[in-house]
Amino acid sequence: MKTSRRDFIKTTGVAAGIVALPALPSWVSEVNAIEGAAAAAVDKNALADIALSTARKLGVTYADIRINRYRNEQISTREKQVQNVSRSQNFGFGVRVLFKGTWGFASSRDVSPEEVRRLTRQAVEIARANSVYQRKRVTIAPASKVVANWTSAFEKDPFDVAIDDKVQFLLKLNEQAMKTEGVSFVNSSMGFVNEQKFYASTDGSRIEQYIIRANPSFNVTAVNRSTGDFQSRSDFGGPQGMGYEYMEKYPWLQEAERAGHDAVTKLKAKPIEPGKYDLVLHPSHLWLTIHESVGHPTELDRALWWEADYAGTSFITPDKTGKLQFGSKIVNFVADRTQRGGLATIGYDDEGVPGQQWHLIRNGLFVDWQTTRDLAQLSPGKKSYGCLHADSWGSISFPRMPNVSLQPASSNTSMDDLVAGVEKGILIYGNGSYSIDQQRYNFQFGGQTFWEIKNGKVGPMVRDVAYQSRTTDFWNSCDGLGGPATYEIGGSFNDGKGEPGQSNAVSHGCPVTRFRQVNVLNTAAS
């Protein structure tokens, strides 16, 4: 099955009357109203003046303050039942200072002049204490003064859409998935995030941003009760940097029905025979392989061993810049903080650097890194690419992954064209389980659905498939890219990093892509 964002259609009237959802408890609305009123009443510029003037008097070389409000909504259902409806929000500030070449940070949910002044002093004291032990002093690349307001690209703010409309949509989706005989369970959900971010620094910048992200999902399970076997298929759509229009434009109902068919077909699919196969990978699958094997190893802080939590370090080292043949000559990866629909798309990062795009891999050659203002001094271009981010006003900002995407071919190459060049292969949709080592070098990836390719034609579904390779071997085996019409964006709301851990949302776009002679395992036999 092929589901494409370029074929977005308007879903017609969602069936009403499936369930009448009661309003949220009054105390929830009251708490939200109080939090919202508190955020609206704050004079952010006056508080920024207090923080920055206090920091200057205490001798810092740089300081910034972030005053942020976060709103979250989550709705989940199962078959004909609503399982959860929740809304939350939080509001607070964080002050970061650079004192004697050492960072200090402090934060609070009490957004008042007295607390801002106290926490700024505390941040300086933390930096002063850290400076006793820090051997190498931090220097940061310069940044231009920016005064701006920026809003992410969305058409319909999901927080203005009634809860009941969202519930009806999910229940209708479940109904579509359950149409196929043999489907036993379906779970569906939609989540939305709104970040309202204010940033001010001693560089003179004052920036406000309003960001919306959407995270719908579903999972369909079919059961063979005579054998006890069960198989599942999740959505291929994934989260997007969009508003509620994503629910209306992407063909969710059609995909849910197709997922039911796929889950039942999986029960009857033949197990894969291990061996070498050509792979044709759909964007709904390949985005995760990009994330793990390209996104993480090109984080400069990992390469320098400044960071190892969650994703380890990197097999790429700074001396390989401009020298490592990462992939074949048709492979071009662009890091992009401006990509429309990207989950890591921003106007400005958490230290006032504008969103931008740049090559990480050009014509197969590794050429550059993901950088921030302090990492810039250690990178070839001595430049920040705007990769600093914190997941909360209460978290210190640190390097986070931008959208990292594989560029399509300039031609109109289709998936059928790529398949036609395969004698023995597998077509893979959707992301599944995976394993990768701490240097992002040796890996194994599964998927959602697998289809046999024989003599240039897509055949029946197969199952129990995972492919295994080394990062550079894999990307050097890439010999075919789909054109722009095959390009889609996938991603995750939950890219973990750091200790204490933080979560980042990030997207990875790519076309349908072909790889030659990759080792394939039978996961049931291994």
Q: What is the pTM of this model?
A: 0.92
pLDDT at 189 over 50: yes
Number of domains in the chain: 2
Least confident range from 25-34, 189-198, 382-391: namely: 25-34
Degrees (nearest 5) of the Cα angle 507, 512, 515? Answer: 110
* 419 and 440 housed in the same domain: yes
Whether residue 202 contacts residue 64, with contact meaning beta carbons closer than 8 Å, is answered with: yes
pLDDT of the residue at 36: 64
Confidence at 15, pLDDT banded by 50, 70, 90: very low
Identify whether residues 111 and 38 lie together within a single domain: yes
Q: Which of 268, 287, 305 is the last residue of a domain?
A: 268
Residues 338-387: tens digit of each pLDDT: 999 999 999 999 999 999 999 999 999 999 999 999 999 999 889 999 99
The pLDDT, as a whole number, for residue 2 is 38
pLDDT on residue 134: 87
Interval 297-322 mean pLDDT? 95
Whether the CB-CB separation of 353 and 386 falls below 8 Å is answered with: yes
pLDDT band at 11 (very low <50, low <70, confident <90, very high): very low
| Structure token pair of residue 57 | 């008097």
Same-domain check for residues 277 and 422: yes
Tokens representing 366? 């590794």
Q: Is the confidence at residue 330, as pLDDT, over 90? A: yes
354 and 452 share a domain?
Answer: yes
Which of the two residues, 134 and 113, has the higher pLDDT score? 113
Q: Clarify whether residues 79 and 183 are in a common domain.
A: yes
For the record, the structure tokens of 191 come out as 């989540």
| Other Cβ atoms closer than 10 A to 133 | 7
- Is the per-residue pLDDT at 54 higher than 80? yes
The fraction of the chain above a pLDDT of 70, given in percent, is 92
Domain boundary among 268, 303, 322: 268
Round to whole Å and give the CA distance between 446 and 442. 14
- Among 242, 268, 294, identify where a domain stops: 268
Please give the Cα distance from 384 to 525 (Å, whole number).
Answer: 47
Q: For residues 413 and 439, state if they share a domain.
A: yes
Residues 292-313, mean pLDDT to the nearest whole number: 95
| pLDDT tens-place string over residues 60-78 | 999 999 999 999 999 999 9
Domain residues for the domain of 332 are: 271-522
The answer to whether the CB of 498 falls within 8 A of the CB of 400 is: no
Angle (nearest 5°) at CA 400 between 122 and 347: 90
Same-domain check for residues 206 and 276: no
Tell me: do 369 and 457 sit in the same domain.
yes
Please list the alpha-helical segments (H only) found in 305-429. Answer: 415-420
Co-location of 165 and 151 in the same domain: yes
Contact between residue 215 and residue 493 where contact means Cβ atoms under 8 Å apart:
yes
Same domain as 151, residue 204: yes
Indicate whether 61 and 118 sit together in one domain.
yes
Q: Is 75 helix (H, G, I), strand (E, B) or coil?
A: strand
Tell me, yes or no, whether 189 and 322 share the same domain. no
Residue 138 is part of a domain; what is its CATH number? 3.30.2290.10
> What integer pLDDT is reported at residue 248 of this predicted model?
96
By CB atoms closer than 10 A (0-12, 13-18, 19+), residue 483 is middle
Does the pLDDT of residue 32 top 70, yes or no? no
pLDDT in tens, 202-247: 999 999 999 999 999 999 999 998 888 999 999 999 999 999 999 9
Q: Regarding beta strands 403-406 and 333-336, do their DSSP bridges make them parallel or antiparallel, or are they unpaired?
A: antiparallel
Q: Is the pLDDT of residue 10 over 50?
A: no
Q: Which of 515, 517, 519, 525 is nearest to 464 (CA)?
A: 525
Q: CA-to-CA distance for 81 and 223, rounded, in angstroms?
A: 20
Mean pLDDT across the stretch 24-40? 57
Q: Tell me the average pLDDT across 478-500.
A: 96
The C-alpha atoms of residue 306 and residue 300 are separated, in whole angstroms, by 9
- 11/152: higher pLDDT: 152
Q: What is the per-residue pLDDT across 314-329, written as a single tens digit (0 to 9) for each?
A: 999 999 999 999 999 9
Whole-number Å distance between alpha carbons of 421 and 416: 9
3-state secondary structure of 347: coil
Q: Is 13 a residue whose pLDDT tops 60?
A: no
- The model's pLDDT over 268-279, given as tens digits with 9 standing for 90+, comes to 999 999 999 999
**What letter does residue 455 receive in the DSSP assignment?**
T
Phi first, then psi, for residue 495 (nearest 5°) are: -90, 105
Give me the residue label for tokens 């106290």.
Answer: 118
Q: What is the pLDDT of residue 1?
A: 36
Residue with tokens 């196929």: 180
